[in-house]
Amino acid sequence: MKLEDVLLKIQNGEMDIDSAANEIHTMSYTEVSDFAKIDSHRMCRTGIPEAVLAEGKEPDDLVEIVKKQVDCAGRVLVTRVSAEQIAKLRSNFESDNIEWNERANAAVINNGTQCPETGGVVGILSGGTTDVGVAEEANIVASEMGCKTITAYDVGVAGIHRLFPQISRFKETGVDAVIVAAGREGTLPTIVSGLIDVPVIGLPVSTGYGAGGSGQAALMSMLQSCSVISVVNIDAGFVAGAFAAQIANKVAKARK
Amino acid sequence: MKLEDVLLKIQNGEMDIDSAANEIHTMSYTEVSDFAKIDSHRMCRTGIPEAVLAEGKEPDDLVEIVKKQVDCAGRVLVTRVSAEQIAKLRSNFESDNIEWNERANAAVINNGTQCPETGGVVGILSGGTTDVGVAEEANIVASEMGCKTITAYDVGVAGIHRLFPQISRFKETGVDAVIVAAGREGTLPTIVSGLIDVPVIGLPVSTGYGAGGSGQAALMSMLQSCSVISVVNIDAGFVAGAFAAQIANKVAKARK
Amino acid sequence: MKLEDVLLKIQNGEMDIDSAANEIHTMSYTEVSDFAKIDSHRMCRTGIPEAVLAEGKEPDDLVEIVKKQVDCAGRVLVTRVSAEQIAKLRSNFESDNIEWNERANAAVINNGTQCPETGGVVGILSGGTTDVGVAEEANIVASEMGCKTITAYDVGVAGIHRLFPQISRFKETGVDAVIVAAGREGTLPTIVSGLIDVPVIGLPVSTGYGAGGSGQAALMSMLQSCSVISVVNIDAGFVAGAFAAQIANKVAKARK
Amino acid sequence: MKLEDVLLKIQNGEMDIDSAANEIHTMSYTEVSDFAKIDSHRMCRTGIPEAVLAEGKEPDDLVEIVKKQVDCAGRVLVTRVSAEQIAKLRSNFESDNIEWNERANAAVINNGTQCPETGGVVGILSGGTTDVGVAEEANIVASEMGCKTITAYDVGVAGIHRLFPQISRFKETGVDAVIVAAGREGTLPTIVSGLIDVPVIGLPVSTGYGAGGSGQAALMSMLQSCSVISVVNIDAGFVAGAFAAQIANKVAKARK
Amino acid sequence: MKLEDVLLKIQNGEMDIDSAANEIHTMSYTEVSDFAKIDSHRMCRTGIPEAVLAEGKEPDDLVEIVKKQVDCAGRVLVTRVSAEQIAKLRSNFESDNIEWNERANAAVINNGTQCPETGGVVGILSGGTTDVGVAEEANIVASEMGCKTITAYDVGVAGIHRLFPQISRFKETGVDAVIVAAGREGTLPTIVSGLIDVPVIGLPVSTGYGAGGSGQAALMSMLQSCSVISVVNIDAGFVAGAFAAQIANKVAKARK
Amino acid sequence: MKLEDVLLKIQNGEMDIDSAANEIHTMSYTEVSDFAKIDSHRMCRTGIPEAVLAEGKEPDDLVEIVKKQVDCAGRVLVTRVSAEQIAKLRSNFESDNIEWNERANAAVINNGTQCPETGGVVGILSGGTTDVGVAEEANIVASEMGCKTITAYDVGVAGIHRLFPQISRFKETGVDAVIVAAGREGTLPTIVSGLIDVPVIGLPVSTGYGAGGSGQAALMSMLQSCSVISVVNIDAGFVAGAFAAQIANKVAKARK
Amino acid sequence: MKLEDVLLKIQNGEMDIDSAANEIHTMSYTEVSDFAKIDSHRMCRTGIPEAVLAEGKEPDDLVEIVKKQVDCAGRVLVTRVSAEQIAKLRSNFESDNIEWNERANAAVINNGTQCPETGGVVGILSGGTTDVGVAEEANIVASEMGCKTITAYDVGVAGIHRLFPQISRFKETGVDAVIVAAGREGTLPTIVSGLIDVPVIGLPVSTGYGAGGSGQAALMSMLQSCSVISVVNIDAGFVAGAFAAQIANKVAKARK
Amino acid sequence: MKLEDVLLKIQNGEMDIDSAANEIHTMSYTEVSDFAKIDSHRMCRTGIPEAVLAEGKEPDDLVEIVKKQVDCAGRVLVTRVSAEQIAKLRSNFESDNIEWNERANAAVINNGTQCPETGGVVGILSGGTTDVGVAEEANIVASEMGCKTITAYDVGVAGIHRLFPQISRFKETGVDAVIVAAGREGTLPTIVSGLIDVPVIGLPVSTGYGAGGSGQAALMSMLQSCSVISVVNIDAGFVAGAFAAQIANKVAKARK
C-alpha cells in the first residue's frame, strides 16, 4: 500500500487514524529506502558518472552490468579494465560507442549520449611518467563529470623548471581545482599548493621501492605537508577526479 | 641594484645590453624570491590567516611573533596554545583583542581589525564529544578565512538518528563544503558524503585505543572509503579548516 | 506537526491528500529519526545498559550526563572513571546508589532501580592478575545486562593446571558464552575454545613489552587462532561483556 | 595395561593398592590424551563439520584425507580448493556426492549422509560483490553445521538503501546471529549492529588498495567500532561461519 | 574421593570395577591438574627460581606474595621493583635477607636458604652501559638458578677491541652459554657468535631512537643474523637468563 | 714475508728488532685474518656443516660451489634447492652421493664421507602439516651436525591430545634440546616448554593469513611467551637446527 | 620577446622603463625556468650521468628516449633493464656502443664518446653474493661519473677474515669514499666504518626473510649504527653510487 | 711478554724460532686488540671528537667520564645534556672551560686546548624553528671536528623564497658538504640537492603528528627522494655533523 492510498482511506473513513499511523510507521523502512533512492538520483543529476570497477569481474558479467548502466544512464565509465575484458567489451559494443583510454585502462561506453558540459575546469599534474596512468584515471572521471580538464605530466621536482610554465598555463586557463599525482617522495602537491590559489588534491601513486615504497612515503609526505592540501588514497585516481570535479562543478554552478 | 636602476642605466647609455642582461640574470635568485613573495602576498589577499603554531615555542618568543604578525596583518590565529602561553599572551594584549577558544586551545589576537566576510559557508560535523577540539580548530580557521561556519557535534554513527536533521539544516543553510571530524572507526565522513552533494573533507581524530588507535583506523577507513571524500592528516584541524574555506571562498567568489 | 495531527486533518477534511503526502514526505527526516529512536528504545528493552565513557570528560559534565541517564533509565554504567571523577560522582549521589568496581575503574549509578535478571550466564576467564581490570569491565557490563556472571582469574597457560577445574565449574554452572581475557602471547582463548562447547570471545589485554607488546601479539595470536573464536579490540572489556551478554540473553530468552 | 585390568587385579588381590595407584599415575599421559579424545568426539556431536583446508595439499593426498573423513563422518567440508584439486576430487567421487560452491572455492563431499538440521538461523550480509567468496565460505560452514542460512549480498554503504529491506527480511525470518562481510573501509557491520538485535560478527575481507588495503582498514575499523560487534581475521569465512553457527545452534537448542 | 580410596573400595569389594572405572574417568580433570602440578614441582627441582614480576602490583600485595614464596621455596626473585616497592619490602624483611640489585631493579628475598650451585657457567656481555640493567636482570636469574656467572659490559662494536680479551676470558673460564645484550643496531651477538663455540642468546635492549628505536632494529638485526644465534624479546632479561641457565645446567649435569 | 722468515732474519742478524717489530705490526691484518681462519676451522671441528643456500644461485655456479665444498669437507648441505637445481646436481653427482629431502627442499652431497655421530639428541615438533618443510630443514641440519633426531609432526594445539604421547616419547629418548615449529598463532612452543625440562627453541613458520599472517603472529606470540623459550626468525629452519644441535652436542660432549 | 630584445628597445627609446620592468616581471616564470635549466647544465658539467630508469617503460619508448639522450650527451646509463628491453636496445644500437652489465641489469649506450676521468676513487664492498647486483649498479654509476672504482664482494660478517685484506687494499689504493652493500642484518657498513677513515655509505639490500626481511632489518640496523655512516634507501644502488662519486669527485678536484 | 721482548730473545739466542712463532700466535688476541687500539688513535688524529652521550647517565658518573676525556684529549663534546647534568658539570669545571649550546643541549668541556682548524666548510640548513636543536647538534659536532660551519635556519618549503639567497650565500662561501634538517614531510633536502653541487645529507627531525609523525614521513620521504642525497636516522644530529665534517675535511686536506 502506498502512502496516498492510506491517506485516501482515512479521507474515505475506511481506516481509523491509529491504524493509519501504524501502517505508515511500518512503511518506515521503505520510506528510508526511498529517501536514499532520491539521494542516489541526486547523484545522477549532479553528474557523478555511473562507474564500474572492472577489476575481478568475469568478462561476461561485466558486459551485462555495462549494458544495463548504458541503457539506464546513456554512458558508463569502466575502470581498471583488463586486456581480456576490453576485448569482450569490444565484441559487444560498436567501436563508435567505446572511448578507450589505454594509459588509464579505462573505457567509457555510451549509446550516443553526450557528456554534459558543466563549465568546471580541473587541472591535473603528475610528477613522472609512471604516474600518468593514475592521473589519467582522474582525468577521465572529471571529464565524465562534465569538466574541462587540462593536464601537464612529467613535471616532477627532479626537473622543477618544467613546472612553472605549466602553473602559468593553469592560471591563465582558470582552473577551479588541481589534482597532483606523485609517487616516490610525493613532494609535488606541497610545492604546487604554494604556487596557485585553488584547492589542491594530493594523489599518491604506488611507485617507489624499499622503505616507504608502493606509495607509502608519498602518502605520508602529503599528509604531513606544511601546505594546505587534502589527500586521497594511493592510486585512487577515481576519487581524486570525482572530488576535484565536485569542487569545480560547484564553482561553475555558482558562476552561472 | 634594482631592476629599474639597471633599465635606467641602459636608457641613459650608462650600461650596454650584454652587461645588463648579465646583471639581470645574476639577479635571478632575488627574482625568484620576489616571485615567491608576491605569492605569499597573494595568500594574504585570499584570506588564509597568518597562523602561528604555538606548540614548542617559548612564551616570550611567542608574544614577540604574535605582535609582529598583528602589526603586519591586523589579526593572527595562534593554535595549540598551552596554559602558560595563553597567560603570557593575556598579560601582553588587551582582553578585547583576544578571542580565546578553549576547546580548540586556539586564540585570535587582533588590533581591532575585523575579519572579512567572504560569503563562503563551511559545515563542520563531529562524531563524538572527544572530537570537538579538533573540529573547533577547523572552525576557527575557516572563520578567520571569512567563512560563515555551521557546526553539529556528537552526531556519530552510534546515534545516527541525530545526523539526519543536521544534514537537513546544512542543506537549508547552503553549505559549500563540509568537514567531518571522526575518531575510532571513522565512518561518519563516508555516510555524510552519501547524503549531501558538496565536497566532504574527512578529518580523522586521534581517539580510539588498541589496534588502529590514535586515529590510525579512522584515517585508513577514510582513505578506503567507497564514497568520494578527501582526507587530511590525523588531528589536522587547521588543514581541514583552511582547505574547506578555500573551496567555500572559491564558490562564494563565483557567486558574486 | 505530528503525524497523527496530519492524519486527523485529512479525516476532518482540513487538508487534501496531496498536501498531506507532501507534508509527510517533508517530515521524513524526523520519521527517520523516529525510526532510529524506536531502535534505541529497542536497545533499552534488550538490556544493553546506558553506558558512559568517563575518560576525557570534565567531572561536572560527567555528573550532568549521568544524572540525565539515571533519570531516564534508572541505572547507568560509567566506565574508565578517574579518581577525580569518582570523587565528584560521590559528592552528587547517595553512596547507596553508587556501586563502585575499583579494579575495573567503573561505577553503576542507580536511583534504586534494580538490574533485571535475564537468566543468561556469562563465564569470564583471565590469564594473569594484570588482566583482571579489563575482565572486570566485561563482568560489570554483562551483569548490568542482566546476566549472571561466573569468573576465574589468573588461570593462564603458565599455570594451566589451574584452568581445568575452572572449566569444569563453568560447565557445571552452564555458561552460555565465555570471555577469555589474555595479554602477552594471548594463548588462553584458543585453549579454552578447545575445552568447552560454547562461543568463546577473545579479549586481548594491553600487557606485554617489546615486539608485540601493548596487546598486539595477543590480538594477532587470537585472530590467527586455529580454534573457532571471535575477537574484540585490545582492552575492549565493554564490547566483550556486551557481546557475550547479547548471546547469553538470546539463549536465555529461547530457554523460556 | 588398561585401567579395567588394573582394577581387576586389585579386586583379585593380584596387585596391591600402592602399585596400582602408581600404575594409574604413570598412565596419566594416556589418560590426558583420552580425555582430549573424548573432547574431540564432543566436537563431532555438536556439529562442527570435519573440515579440510585444501590449500597447499597435494591433490592425491587431499583425496586420501577426504576419503578417510567421509568414511568416518559421512560428510566433509573442503575449503580453498584449487582447480586442479577439484578436478582430482571429481575423478574420485560420484558427482552426486560432491556439492561444489564455485564462489567459495569449497566443496562438501558426502557418502549420502545428510546434514542434520539444528533449527539455528544465520544471516549473512556482504558489502560488495568482491566480498561474496568469503561470505559464501561462511555460508557453507554454517550450513554444514545444520543451520538454515539467509544471505543478502552487495548491500554496502555506498548504496545503503539496499540494506534496509534486507534487515527487515532478516528480522522476519528470525536470524539468531548475523555475519557481515566487508572490505575497503569495513563500515557495514557497525551499521548493521545498530539496526538489529542479534549478535553481529564482523568479517573483514581482503579488498581495498593502498594504505589499509588487503583488509587491514576493514579489520581496524571493525575493532574500533562504536557498536557492539566481535571480529574474526581477514578472509576468515570459516571461523565466522562456525562461530555464528555455534551461537545459532545454542539458541536453537534452547528453543527446543 | 581420592584414587587410593577408590582402589581400597575395590579391594574391599565395596565397589565394582565398572563403577570404579567410571569414577576414575570422572576424576580425570583433577588428574590432569595433578599431572600439571607434578610438572610444576619438576620446575622447582630443576632450579628455575620462583620469580615475581613486581611491576603493577600493590606494595602490600607484593609483600604478601613474596612472604608466601619465601616460606614455600626459601628464596624468591622479585623483578622490575619500584622505589616504593623496595621500601615496603625493606620494612618487612630483615636487611640480611634482601639482596638488592639496583641496576637490575631486582631483589632476592630469602629466609637464609642458600642458592644451590649447579656448576653451570653463563657468560653475559653487553654492548653499552645503557644495556647493563637488562643484562643484570639476566645475571640475577642465572645466578638464582645456581649458575656461576661471568660478565663483561660495555664491549660494543664501537670499541670492538675491548671485546676480544673478554672473549678470551670467557673461553678460559669455560662458559656453557653466552647472553649478549645489545641495543641500537644489535650487532654484537652476531660477532660474538663467530668468535666462541657455545650457544649465544641475543638479548635486544630498548635503546636507540628514530626508525628502529626502542630495540626494534636490534631485534630484527638479531633475527636476520647470518650467524647461528637464538633470540628473546626486547628487554627480556629474565627469559635470556633462565634460558641460558637451563642450557648451562644441562651441560653441568652431564659433566657430573 | 711469513712470520718465521722474519724471526729467522733476526736470529741471523739480518734484521734489527725495530724493523722486525714494525714488519710484524704491518702484518697484523693478515694475522687478524689468520686468527679468523683458525676460528672458521674451529667451526668445522665442532660439526657445523658447510651449508650452501641454493636460492638465487645459477645451477652451474651451484654445482661448482658444491663440488669444492665436497672436496674440502667430504659432505655439504644444500638448502632451498629448486627443481632445476636438484636436476643439475643429479646430473653431476652419483645418485649414491645425494641424499635428497623433498619436504625440506634440501640435499646433502657427499663423497662417501659419513656424518660423525656426536651422541647429541634433538627433538623436533611441528604444529601442522604445512610446518613440516621448515621443521625438516632443521632436522637435516641437526643430523649433519651429528645429532640423532626424533620428530613428531602435526601435533598442534587444535589436536593437543596428540602432543602428550610425543612428549613422553621425547622424555624417554632423552632429548637434549627441542625445536618447536609452528605457524598461525604459534602457541605450541609455549605449551611444550611447560611440559619438558630441556631448552625449547621456537621456530615460527610463515603460515597464516590476514593480520599477523606470514608468520608474524607466530613470531610475536613466541617472543611474548610466558614460558622460557628462545626464538629464531620466521622459517629459519637452518638456524633452529644448528642452534639446537649446538646445545645437544655440548651436552653430549659433557656426558663423555 | 626575449630579455635582450626588451633591453634593446629601452636603449632605442622604443619602450619606457615602467613597461619594460613590467614585461620582465611577467617574464619571470621563464626566467625561473632558465635559472633552473642552467642548473641542469651544471649537473652535466659535474658529471652526474644522464640516467634512464628502464623499469616499466615500453621497449620502443625506451629506445626513443635513449637515442635522444645519446645524441644530447654522448652517453647514457640505462638501469633496471629487462631481457626484452636489452634485446630491443641491441637491435637499435651497434654492439660496440652498448656496454652491458648483466649482474646490474644496466647498460651504457654511447656514440663513441668516452667517459671522462675525474681522478676520484670509489670503493665498493658487498656482504654476500646476492648483494652484488645492487653493488654493481652503484659501480656503474660511479664509473660513468668518471671515478675509478675498486670492488670487493662477498666479504660479509660471516667470513669477516675476508674483509681485512680488502680494507688494506682499499687503503693502499686511496679510496675517497666507500659504499658498503649489505642485506640480512646489515652489519657490514658499521664494521667497515670503524676500520677506514673515509666517508662510508650504507646501501641496504632487499635480501633476508621473515621479520625484517626485504632489507628492512638492514636499513634499520644502518640507521641505528653506533658508527658514523650515512644511508640510502633499500636497493638504491644508483643513489649510493652517485653520492659516493660526488664526494670522490669533490676530493679529486681539490687534489688538482 | 711484549713482542719486542720475544724478538730480543731470538736475537739473543734465548728462544728458538718455533717457540717464538708459537708465542706470537698465542699473543694474537692482544695483537688484535692492539690493532684496534691503533685504529682508535687514528680516529683522534682525524679529528672526530671524543663525544659523550649524557642521556641516561648519573650526573656524578658523567662528571667522572668527562674529566677523564678532557685529561686525555683536551676537549670533549657532551650531547643530550639535562638541566641537572649541566648544573653538575658547571659546579665541576671553570665557566671559561664550558661552551654551552642551549638549543642543542650540548656542551664542549675543555682544558684550554683549542679546537684545530681543518679548513673544511659545512653548511647547515633547517626547515623550521623546531628543527634547530637537532641542526645545532650537527653544527657543534662539525665545529669540534675543525670545520667552519655556516647555518641558515627556518628556510623551509612553506616559505621557499627564504631558501634561495641562503643557497647563494653557501655557494659563495664554498661549502664542502651540506646538512639539511627537516621534519614534517621532509622535502627540503630534495630541493636543496637540486640547487647545489655538493653532497647533501638529509637529517630527518622528529616533528610532525598523526600518520608519519615523529619524523617517519620525513625519513621515508628522504629515502625515496628523486634527488641524490644520503640520509641519517631521525634526530641523529651527531651522525649528520660528523659525516659532513668527514667529507669536508677530506676535501680540505686535498686542497692543501
Task: For D193-244, write each residue's pLDDT tens digit.
Answer: 877 889 999 999 998 888 888 899 999 999 999 889 999 999 999 999 999 9
CB contact under 8 A, D11 and E13: yes
Is the minimum CB–CB distance between G38 and chain A shorter than 8 Å? Answer: no
The pLDDT score that the predictor gives to residue E68 is: 84
CB contact under 8 A, C8 and A17: yes
Please give, rounded to a whole number of angstroms, the shortest distance from the CA of B37 to a CA of chain G.
Answer: 13
The pLDDT score that the predictor gives to residue A231 is: 97
Range among A163-167, B118-122, F8-12, G222-226 rated most confident: B118-122
Is the minimum CB–CB distance between B165 and chain C shorter than 8 Å? Answer: yes
F and H touching (3 or more beta-carbon pairs closer than 8 Å): yes
Query: How much is the mean pLDDT over chain F?
Result: 84
Contacts of B17 (CB under 8 A, 6+ apart): B10, G4, G7, G8, G11
Residue in E164, E209, E210 nearest the CB of H33: E164
* Chain D contact set for C46 (CB, 8 A): 197
The pLDDT score that the predictor gives to residue B129 is: 76
Please give, rounded to a whole number of angstroms, the shortest distance from the CA of G23 to a CA of chain E.
Answer: 50
More confident: G113 or A139: A139
Residue C216 has pLDDT above 50, yes or no: yes
Kindly state the cell numbers that stand for F249.
652436542
Q: Which of B41-45, C159-163, E169-173, G216-220 has the lowest mean pLDDT?
A: B41-45
Residue in F197, F232, F242 nearest the CB of E231: F232
Chain F: residue nearest H21 by CA? F4
* Chain D contact set for F210 (CB, 8 A): 204, 206, 215, 219, 233-236
* Chain G contact set for F57 (CB, 8 A): 129
pTM: 0.85
Is the minimum CB–CB distance between A7 and chain C shorter than 8 Å? Answer: yes
CB contact under 8 A, F39 and G129: no
Residue D97 has pLDDT above 80, yes or no: yes
* Chain E contact set for D3 (CB, 8 A): 21, 24-25
Give the span between the Cα atoms of G187 and G229, in whole angstroms: 12
Residue in B185, B220, B224 nearest the CB of D225: B185
Instruction: Count how many pairs of residues, chain E against chain G, have C-beta atoms within 8 Å.
Output: 101
The pLDDT score that the predictor gives to residue D72 is: 77
Tell me the pLDDT band of E42, cut-offs 50, 70 and 90.
very low
CB contact under 8 A, F29 and G161: no
More confident: D246 or B127: D246
Is the minimum CB–CB distance between G152 and chain F shorter than 8 Å? Answer: no
Give the residue from G164, G176, G230, G253 with the most H CB atoms within 10 Å of its CB, the best one to mutate.
G230
The pLDDT score that the predictor gives to residue H57 is: 81
Is the minimum CB–CB distance between F225 and chain C shorter than 8 Å? Answer: yes
More confident: C47 or F147: F147
Residue B242 has pLDDT above 70, yes or no: yes
Is the minimum CB–CB distance between B172 and chain C shorter than 8 Å? Answer: no
The pLDDT score that the predictor gives to residue E2 is: 66
Is the minimum CB–CB distance between H188 and chain A shorter than 8 Å? Answer: no
Chain G: residue nearest F234 by CA? G210
The pLDDT score that the predictor gives to residue C159 is: 56
Kindly state the cell numbers that stand for B123.
559545515
CB contact under 8 A, E33 and C164: yes
Give the residue from E126, E130, E161, E167 with the most H CB atoms within 10 Å of its CB, the best one to mutate.
E161
Query: How much is the mean pLDDT over chain H?
Result: 84
| Chain F partners (3+ C-beta pairs within 8 A) | C, D, E, G, H
Contacts of C38 (CB under 8 A, 6+ apart): none
Tell me the pLDDT band of D3, cut-offs 50, 70 and 90.
confident
CB contact under 8 A, B226 and D190: no
Give the span between the Cα atoms of B36 and H161, in whole angstroms: 5
More confident: C238 or F159: C238
Residue with cell 656453557: E176
Is the minimum CB–CB distance between H247 and chain G shorter than 8 Å? Answer: yes
Tell me the pLDDT band of F17, cut-offs 50, 70 and 90.
confident
Alpha carbons within 13 angstroms on the beta-carbon side of residue D1 total 16
Please give, rounded to a whole number of angstroms, the shortest distance from the CA of B213 to a CA of chain C.
Answer: 10
Is the minimum CB–CB distance between A195 and chain H shorter than 8 Å? Answer: no
Residue A30 has pLDDT above 80, yes or no: no
CB contact under 8 A, D233 and F165: no
Is the minimum CB–CB distance between F7 and chain H shorter than 8 Å? Answer: yes
Give the span between the Cα atoms of E211 and H232, in whole angstroms: 10
Closest CA to B28 of G37, A196, G28: G28
Question: Which segments of chain E does DSSP mark as H helices, in order?
Answer: 3-11, 17-26, 28-45, 59-73, 83-90, 132-144, 163-173, 188-193, 216-223, 237-255
Instruction: Count how many pairs of residues, chain C against chain D, have C-beta atoms within 8 Å.
Output: 83
The pLDDT score that the predictor gives to residue E159 is: 57
* Chain A contact set for B254 (CB, 8 A): 251-252, 254-255
Give the span between the Cα atoms of G161 and G165, in whole angstroms: 8
Is the minimum CB–CB distance between B30 and chain G shorter than 8 Å? Answer: no
The pLDDT score that the predictor gives to residue A18 is: 78
Residue in H130, H161, H209 nearest the CB of B36: H161
Range among C31-45, D70-84, F152-166, H16-30 rated most confident: D70-84
Residue G193 has pLDDT above 90, yes or no: no
Residue A25 has pLDDT above 60, yes or no: no
CB contact under 8 A, D161 and A233: no
Task: Kindly state the average pLDDT of the residues H54-79.
Answer: 86
Residue B223 has pLDDT above 60, yes or no: yes
More confident: F247 or C172: F247
Residue B186 has pLDDT above 50, yes or no: yes
Residue F42 has pLDDT above 50, yes or no: no
The answer to whether E118 and E253 have CB atoms below 8 angstroms apart is yes
Task: For B127-166, write each residue's pLDDT tens digit.
Answer: 877 889 999 999 999 999 999 999 998 776 555 657 777 8
Per DSSP, B170 falls in state H
The answer to whether E184 and G224 have CB atoms below 8 angstroms apart is yes
The pLDDT score that the predictor gives to residue H223 is: 95
The answer to whether B198 and A199 have CB atoms below 8 angstroms apart is no
Tell me the pLDDT band of F18, cut-offs 50, 70 and 90.
confident
Give the span between the Cα atoms of E175 and E172, in whole angstroms: 8
Task: Kindly state the average pLDDT of the residues G195-218.
Answer: 91
More confident: G184 or G3: G184
Is the minimum CB–CB distance between D3 and chain E shorter than 8 Å? Answer: yes
The pLDDT score that the predictor gives to residue E178 is: 97
The pLDDT score that the predictor gives to residue E38 is: 36
Residue D161 has pLDDT above 80, yes or no: no
Task: For C1-29, write each residue's pLDDT tens digit.
Answer: 567 788 888 888 888 888 887 677 555 43
Residue with cell 628597445: G9
SS3 C3: helix
Residue G161 has pLDDT above 80, yes or no: no
CB contact under 8 A, B11 and G17: yes
Give the residue from D29, D32, D221 with the most F CB atoms within 10 Å of its CB, the best one to mutate.
D29
Task: Kindly state the average pLDDT of the residues G228-238.
Answer: 95
Tell me the pLDDT band of E158, cut-offs 50, 70 and 90.
low
Residue H253 has pLDDT above 70, yes or no: yes
CB contact under 8 A, A13 and C10: no
Rounded to 5 degrees, what are φ and ψ at H199? -60, 130
Give the span between the Cα atoms of B2 and G24, in whole angstroms: 13
Task: Kindly state the average pLDDT of the residues C121-136.
Answer: 91
Following DSSP, what letter does each residue of E89-156 receive, concatenated?
HHTTS-GGGEEEETTTTEEEEESSPPPP----EEEEEESSGGGHHHHHHHHHHHHHTT-EEEEE-S--
Please give, rounded to a whole number of angstroms, the shortest distance from the CA of F210 to a CA of chain E.
Answer: 21
Residue with cell 627564504: H162
Residue with cell 564455485: D102
CB contact under 8 A, E236 and C168: no
Tell me the pLDDT band of B10, cut-offs 50, 70 and 90.
confident
The pLDDT score that the predictor gives to residue A160 is: 60
Task: Kindly state the average pLDDT of the residues C138-150.
Answer: 95
Residue in B39, B56, B234 nearest the CB of H130: B56
The pLDDT score that the predictor gives to residue C104 is: 93
| Chain C partners (3+ C-beta pairs within 8 A) | A, B, D, E, F
Task: For F201-210, write each residue's pLDDT tens digit.
Answer: 999 999 888 8
Query: How much is the mean pLDDT over chain A?
Result: 84
The pLDDT score that the predictor gives to residue G237 is: 96
Residue G28 has pLDDT above 50, yes or no: no
Task: For D15-61, write each residue's pLDDT tens digit.
Answer: 888 788 767 755 543 433 333 333 334 344 345 666 888 887 888 88
Range among B108-117, E235-244, F36-45 rated most confident: E235-244
Is the minimum CB–CB distance between C162 and chain E shorter than 8 Å? Answer: yes
Query: How much is the mean pLDDT over chain G?
Result: 84
CB contact under 8 A, A247 and B250: yes
CB contact under 8 A, E206 and C210: yes
The pLDDT score that the predictor gives to residue E28 is: 43
Task: For C94-114, write each residue's pLDDT tens digit.
Answer: 999 999 999 999 999 999 988
More confident: E156 or E150: E150
Task: Kindly state the average pLDDT of the residues H208-233.
Answer: 92
Is the minimum CB–CB distance between E172 and chain H shorter than 8 Å? Answer: no
Task: Kindly state the average pLDDT of the residues D106-133.
Answer: 90
Chain A: residue nearest D217 by CA? A233
CB contact under 8 A, C197 and D42: yes
CB contact under 8 A, H7 and F10: yes
CB contact under 8 A, B228 and A250: no
